[in-house]
Amino acid sequence: MNKSSCEKKKALKTSIGGQAVIEGVMMRGPHKIATAVRKSDGEIIIDEKPIGKGRKNKILKLPIIRGCINFFDSMIVGIKALMFSAKFFEVDEDGNQIEQKPGKFEKWLDEKLGSEKATEAVIYVAVCLSLLLSVGLFILLPAVIVGFLKGLIENHILLTLAEGIVRIAIFILYISLVSRMEDIKRVFMYHGAEHKSIHCFESGEELTIENVRRHSRLHPRCGTSFLLIVMVISIVVFSFISWNNPLIRLLLRLALLPVVAGISYEIIKFAGRHDNLLTRVISAPGKWFQYITTNEPDDSQIEVAIASLKAVIPENTEDAKW
C-alpha cells in the first residue's frame, strides 16, 4: 500500500457548500465563510469571516425553518462574496479585467455612512432588488402568461401545473442566455471548480489540483438543483391556492415562498446525504442542468477553489459532516 493510500481520510458527506464569484470561489463551512479571489497579478487573496452565533441557534436548525433561514441568508452571504470579488476588477475597452479603484459613488457613500455601513446598505439594496427581479420574472410573469388560459382551462390544478411549466421554461431560457456571456462562462468554470473540490474533500482524498481535477463538476447539493426543486415543489404547494382572485393568489404565493424554500431544502439535504435510487432520481434534473451552469475549470481556478475550501475546513472534520 502506497503512502497516499495510507493517508487517505475517511469519506464523508459534508455540509460545506459554496458559490462561484468573479475570478474566485466562496466556501461556507460550519464555523467560517471564506472567499478566495485571484487578482490580475496572479495573487490569491482570501477573505475569512466567522459565522455568527445567531446562525447556530437550535431553533434555526429545525426542519423547514432552517431551509427558510438558509435561503435568505445564502442570498446575503452570496452578495457579500460577489461584492468582495467585484471590488478588485473592472473591464477595460478591450473587455479585459483590470483591478478596480473606488468610484465617486463609493467614496460618497463612505463619507456619508462610513465604509462598513455603506457596504451593508448596498448589500441589502442588492438583496431587495434580486428578490424583486426573481418575483417579477419567476412568479408574476408565469402567472400573467397562464392567466390568459383561464378561460380555456377551468381546473385550477391544471392551471397551476401550466404555470409551473412556464416558470421552469423561463428559468432554463434565462440561464441558457446568460451562460453565453464570456464573463459568465468564467464564473461557471469557477462553479465547476467549487463542485470538484468539494467532491474531492468528501471522497477523503488530499486536496491537490491533480486529485480535484479527476472529480465530477456535477454535485447533488448545487444551488441550481435547489432552485429546480423549489419550482417543482411550488407547483404542489400552489395547487392548493384558488385562481378566483389574482391579487390574493399572488399574495398567497409570496407568503408561501418561505415554506416552499423550507421543504425544498429538506429534500436537497436528504439527496445530498444519501446515495440510492430515490436520491439519484431527485438529483438527476438538477445535475443535467448543471451541464449549463458549470464548465470544466483550469488548474488555476481549481487552485483558487482549494484555497477557499481549505480555509473553512474545521480541525475536526466531523464538524463538517452533514
- Classify strands 44-50 and 32-38 as parallel, antiparallel or unpaired: antiparallel
- Grid cell, residue 282, equals 431527485
Q: What is the pLDDT of residue 8?
A: 53
Q: What is the pLDDT of residue 93?
A: 46
Residues 142-185: pLDDT tens digits? 888 888 887 788 788 888 899 899 999 999 999 999 898 888 99
pLDDT band at 88 (very low <50, low <70, confident <90, very high): confident
Q: What is the pLDDT of residue 296?
A: 96
pLDDT band at 3 (very low <50, low <70, confident <90, very high): very low
- Grid cell, residue 78, equals 452570496
Average pLDDT rounded to a whole number, residues 37-49: 92
Residue 36, pLDDT > 80, answer yes
The ranges assigned to domains in the chain are 13-92+101-314
pLDDT band at 291 (very low <50, low <70, confident <90, very high): very high
Residues 193-228: pLDDT tens digits? 999 999 999 999 999 999 999 999 999 888 888 888
Helix boundaries (H) for the chain: 3-7, 65-86, 104-113, 115-135, 141-147, 156-178, 182-203, 209-213, 223-238, 246-273, 277-293, 299-312
Residue 113, pLDDT > 70, answer no
Count CB atoms within 10 A of the CB of residue 98.
Answer: 12
Mean of pLDDT over the chain: 83
Q: DSSP 3-state assignment of 44?
A: strand
pLDDT band at 248 (very low <50, low <70, confident <90, very high): confident
